[in-house]
Amino acid sequence: MGLRILSGEDNEFAALQYRKIFEKNQHSITIARDGEECILKYKKVLENCSADSYPFDVVLLDFVMPKKNGVQVAKDILDLRPHQKIIFASAFGNGVLDDASAILKDSIEILQKPFSLEFLVKKIENSCALKNIH
Amino acid sequence: MKYQKASNGFRIGASVGIIILMLGIAIALSISATYTFSNQMRIVTDFNTPLEKTIIQMSDIQKNQESVFNNAIRSLQIKDTQGFQSSESEFQNYNNLMNNQIMQAENIVKIGIDALPQEYVGSQFNLTLTKMTEIEELNTEYERLASNIFQSADKIDSTKLDILAADLKIKGESLYAKQNELLGDLESSYQNIETAVDENKQKSLTLEIIMIIAAGVISLISGYFVNQINRDLTDEVIKKTKSLQKVNEKLKKLNRLKDEFISEASHELKSPLNPIYGFVELAKCGDIDKEEALSGIVKQARQIEEVANKMLDLGKIDNSKLQISIEKFNLNTLISDISEAARLSVNENVSIKTELPENIEIEADKVRIGQVIRNILNNAIKFTHDGNIIITSSLNDNNMVEVRISDTGIGIHPEIFHKIFNKFATKSHKRENLDGNGLGLYICKGIIDAHDGNIQAYNNPHGGATILFSIPVTHHKNNEEFQRSLFN
């Protein structure tokens, strides 16, 4: 069964590529172009979810996004679902990401850009598999 | 402040100097007074003692003279001529002795007058000298009277002799009285000198007290000045510390912003790489065709180029090395082209309009002016989610062209309004949401400054913001060169 992925990515080309690669691998992906849209889409799917289920298996967030940055979006999502799996994709250096990960929780992973699309798919699939085992 | 410090320093120095001087004077006065008084006492004692002795001897001599005179009278009464003559001779000897004593006493007094200061005991000795003169005169008369008696004793009758003897006795008593008076004077001179010493001691003590009080007052004044200087210095140190703290804070902030900018710049340069790799990967797998991949790669490469150019511009502006390449072009055509391109990227709720009533040809750097217009327009689009953006151009009487870009967006936040053209001014502001590096308007200002122009920003009365810039229609610096290029 494919994974449900929510991606917050303001680069239209990156977003297009995510869609292509995840759909090719039988996963469904929802794209949001900015932080606020990302939260709105998360909430919209959440409305139809039961109390113990998650609207998405993984939320893939760009660190820098218009209107609300990735960290703010992650905080809002974790307020709604504290154990939501979130993966950051960022081109920032380690120092900036370290500061962010200190604020956020263990359920968050960070991927350093640039990375291959194949690596991204494997990373997300493995993370979800591990989460299911736990 | 420096002058005040020097003045205060001088005041303290002068005060300390005066205090030391006053204390020194007080001590010197005390020593001087002690020395003077003890010296005077010694001198008075040195002179009075022999003088007293001499006067006492004079009295003794006179007693002897009286005794000898009485013997002579008795010898005369008993017709003892030899006894009379012997007494006369003896009387004469005493006369000589008396004269010697008087001269000795006068010499002592004269030496005393020369040696002692007039204001203390000199006047006493002057009086003594006068009395000595009187004694001398009395003695001369006494001697003359006695000599007359001795010479005429055998020629006058006894009654006459008794009268002369009585006169001599009276003269002798006067002489005694004068001698005793002088002895009394000498006695009282000790008391006078003691009184004078006491008075002078009192004066000296009073003066010392005044000096010490004055020194104390000056010390207090000096203390006040020192305190004031300390306060001034403390205030200055606090002021400087605050100033340095402010500078330090500014530097820290600038450093932080620079670090953030470097991080941001590296992010901006790295971000387009991911889609580039993505395009390559998808094209390789055949998920997208090569044309699509190459088109995407070119766009991402341009984005990298833009970021790199911004960073280069920043370096040039910071080092005042931004160079402009002047050419003649139609400003309205440039604005129309930029607006047309921008319309393709805005959402349907935003309209971009142009009001370009005149055909304006200017001499400027076309690429850089285009960069300025594009940057301001992109900002207007970013902050206008729903509404209009209007671009106008106009010529004014001062050979300047003005470009005005107004929007109906959220306007400029008061916190950043006054520094909107500063470097990193808008960076990290809550409205920015980390989108933007805070350099766009700084670079715009750098470009307009390089054209000898002016750039301003204000919030519109009914919402939104306006950025306007004006530059000379003709570029003055290279005007001659430009004219030459036109004719050549």
Task: Inform me whether the C-beta atom of residue A122 falls under 8 Å from chain B C-beta atoms.
Answer: no
Would you call B263 and A11 a contact, using CB atoms and an 8 Å cutoff?
no
Place of tokens 């009285």: B177
Task: Judge: B271–A11 Cβ closer than 8 Å, yes or no.
Answer: yes
For residues B285 and B327, is the Cβ–Cβ distance under 8 A?
no
CA distances from A37 to A40, A61, B379, B409 (A): 5, 12, 21, 20
Residue B277 to residue A35, Cβ atoms within 8 A: no
Supply the pLDDT for residue B3: 54
- Predicted confidence at residue B184, as pLDDT, reads 87
In this prediction, residues A12-32 reach a mean pLDDT of 93
Q: What is the pLDDT along chain B (488 residues), one digit of tens a residue?
A: 555 556 666 766 777 777 788 788 878 877 877 787 777 677 777 778 888 899 899 889 988 988 888 888 888 888 888 888 888 888 889 989 989 988 988 888 888 777 766 665 556 777 888 888 888 888 888 888 888 888 887 788 878 888 888 888 888 888 889 888 888 887 887 777 778 778 877 887 888 888 888 888 888 888 888 888 889 899 999 999 999 999 999 999 888 877 777 777 777 788 888 899 999 999 998 888 989 899 999 988 988 888 788 788 888 888 888 888 999 999 999 999 999 999 988 888 999 999 998 788 999 999 999 999 999 999 999 889 889 999 999 998 888 999 999 999 999 988 888 889 987 666 544 454 445 667 889 999 999 999 999 999 999 998 999 999 999 998 765 545 544 544 44
pLDDT recorded at residue A42: 96
Decide if B271 and A113 are in contact by the 8 Å CB cutoff. yes
Q: Which of B287, B296, B299 sits opposite A24 (nearest CB)?
A: B287
Helix or strand run (H / E) with residue B362: strand B361-364
Cβ atoms within 10 Å, residue B286: 8
Q: Hey, which residues does A44 pair with through a beta bridge? A: none
Instruction: Give the residue from chain A lying closest to B271, CA to CA.
Output: A91
Compute CA distances B322 → B48, B316, B373, B450, B470, whole Å. Answer: 108, 5, 18, 7, 18
> What are the chain A neighbours of B270 within 8 Å (beta carbons)?
91, 113-114
Question: B327-330 and B361-364 as β-strands: parallel, antiparallel, unpaired?
Answer: antiparallel
- A8: contact with B, CB 8 A cutoff: no
Q: Which residues of B touch A113 (CB under 8 A)?
A: 270-271, 273-274
CATH homologous superfamily of domain B2-229?
Answer: Alpha-catenin/vinculin-like (1.20.120.230)
Q: Does A67 touch chain B (CB under 8 A)?
A: yes
Q: What domains sit in chain A, N to C, each tagged with a CATH number?
A: 4-133 (3.40.50.2300)
Given A67, A92, A116, which is nearest B277 (Cβ)? A116
**Which element (helix H / strand E) includes A59?**
strand A58-62
Q: Which of B267, B271, B433 sits opposite A66 (nearest CB)?
A: B433
A7 touches chain B (CB under 8 A): no
Enumerate residues 43 to 62 of chain A having a beta carbon within 8 A of any beta carbon in chain B. Answer: none
Question: Looking at residue A106, what is its pLDDT?
Answer: 66
The secondary structure of chain B in percent helix, strand, coil, rounded to multiples of 5, reads 75, 10, 20
Which chain B positions have a beta carbon within 8 Å of A23's beta carbon?
none
* pLDDT score, position B488: 44
Provide the H-helix boundaries in B347-424. 366-383, 414-417
Neighbouring residues of B301: CB distance < 8 A, sequence distance ≥ 6: B272, B276
Residues in B closer than 8 angstroms to A14, CB to CB, are 274-275, 278
**Fold exhibited by the domain B325-487:** Heat Shock Protein 90 (3.30.565)
C-alpha dihedral, B119 to B120 to B122 to B123, nearest 10°? 70
Inter-chain contacts counted by CB atoms under 8 A, chains A and B: 76
| Residue A6's pLDDT band (cuts 50, 70, 90) | very high
Domain boundaries, chain B: 2-229, 271-321, 325-487
Residues of B with CB under 8 A from a CB of A: 263, 266-268, 270-279, 281-282, 287-288, 296, 299-300, 433-435
| Residue of chain A nearest B261, judged by CA positions | A92
Q: Given this model, what pLDDT does residue B334 score?
A: 95
From CA A115, how far away is CA A90, in angstroms rounded? 10
Cβ–Cβ below 8 Å for A117 and B281: yes
- Please name which of B200, B342, B314, B178 lies closest in space to residue B257, comparing C-alpha atoms: B314
The confidence score (pLDDT) of residue B243 equals 93
Query: What is the predicted pLDDT for the residue at A16?
Result: 92
Residue of A7, A9, A12, A13 best to disrupt the B interface, most CBs of B under 10 A: A13
A53-94 pLDDT tens trace: 899 999 999 888 878 888 899 999 999 998 899 998 888 766
